[in-house]
Amino acid sequence: MIMNFSSMTYMLYLGVSVSGNVRIGNAIGAGDSIRAESASVVTLGLGGLMSLINIAFLLTFRKSLPWLVTTDIDIVKEAQRLFIVAAIFQLPDAIGACVQGIFRGSGRQALAAKLNFTAYYIIGIPLGYLLGVKLFGLGAIGLWIGMTVGLCIIALFGTILVLQSDWTTLIDDAETRLARSGSATNL
């Protein structure tokens, strides 16, 4: 249930991410650095706002939602604890998704891939395994905490990189890529 909710909320964040991707890509293609930067800030803001709505929903209904799918008291209690971690997970998940869209729109897919690899495969999954299985035996909560920490890395470093972006240089880089590919017609 929690995993399904997380997947559904990610689709909301993905929508914002793709919208930001398109807006930023269009602004860069038009050579408008101010519009590209504004679109990146709006993308991050919308992702953050949507995550806050989801956090409020999860925390408000965390005691009643598990009862919709089970009557087993042990499962209900575990789900109620997991909803707290799932609520915390929402903010870095939303910001991480938006950062990925911003990087795609600004032609920095390789940077996005490196951030994802580091956050998930070097930090999130190993930490989740250590917390959930190997060292602390926290079970599902430990696995979620590990992935949440990994997502915090993407959200933090990604946001810093987005806010420090030189949009004029990114536009120049895009024009250079277009010229090299032979796709530039009227630049």
Q: Which long-range contacts (CB under 8 A, 24 or more apart) does 49-56 make?
A: 50/9, 50/12, 50/13, 50/16, 50/94, 51/9, 51/13, 51/90, 51/91, 51/93, 51/94, 51/95, 52/90, 52/91, 54/9, 54/12, 54/87, 54/90, 54/94, 55/87, 55/88, 55/90, 55/91
Q: Which pLDDT score is estimated for 10?
A: 73
Q: In Å, how far from its chain's centre is CA 101?
A: 9
Question: At residue 78, what are phi and psi to the nearest 5 degrees?
Answer: -65, -40
Q: Which pLDDT score is estimated for 77?
A: 95
The torsion region of residue 107 among left (phi > 0), alpha (psi -120 to 50) and beta comes to: left
Q: Name which of 128, 182, 162 is nearest 39 in CA terms.
A: 162
Query: Which pTM value belongs to this model?
Result: 0.88
| pLDDT tens, residue order, the chain (187 aa) | 566 656 677 788 999 999 999 999 999 999 999 999 999 999 999 999 999 999 999 999 999 999 999 999 999 999 999 999 999 999 999 999 999 999 999 999 999 999 999 999 999 999 999 999 988 889 999 999 999 999 999 999 999 999 999 999 999 999 999 999 876 555 5
